Structure 1
Amino acid sequence: MLGIRLNPDLEADLTALARRTHRTKSDVAREAVREYVDRHSLDAEYRRQVALVHEAQRGSDMDWLEAMAADLMADEPDYDWGDRKP
Structure 2
Amino acid sequence: MLGVRLDTELEERLANVARTQGRSKSDIAREAVRRYVELHDEAFRREARRQSQRASRRDTHEDYAFWERAEREDAAWR
If the TM-score is normalised by the length of the shorter chain, which range does it land in? Answer: 0.5 to 0.7
TM-score (norm 1): 0.59
Normalising to structure 2: TM-score of the pair?
Answer: 0.64
Whichever structure has more helix as a proportion of its residues is 2
> 2:31 maps to which residue?
31
1:18 lines up with 2:18 in the alignment = yes
Deviation at 1:58, TM superposition (A): 3.6
Spell out the pairing of 1:1-86 with structure 2 (5 A cutoff): 1-58=1-58
Q: Deviations over 1:27-84 (max 9, x none)?
A: 000011111111221121011111133234447xxxxxxxxxxxxxxxxxxxxxxxxx
Larger Rg: 2
- Classify the secondary structure of the residue corresponding to 1:50: helix
Quick one: distance in 1 between partners of 2:5 and 2:52? 40
> Higher RCO, 1 or 2 (CA under 8 Å, sep at least 6)?
1
For structure 2, which runs of at least 5 residues remain unmatched after alignment?
60-78
What RMSD over aligned residues (CA atoms) do the two structures have, in Å?
A: 1.6
Q: Segments of 4+ in structure 1 off by > 6 A? A: none
One-letter identity of the residue aligned with 1:35: R
User: Matched residues, percent identical?
Assistant: 41
Secondary structure of the corresponding residue to residue 2 of structure 1: coil
- Residue segments in structure 1 that go unaligned for 5+ positions in a row: 60-86
1:82 aligned partner: none
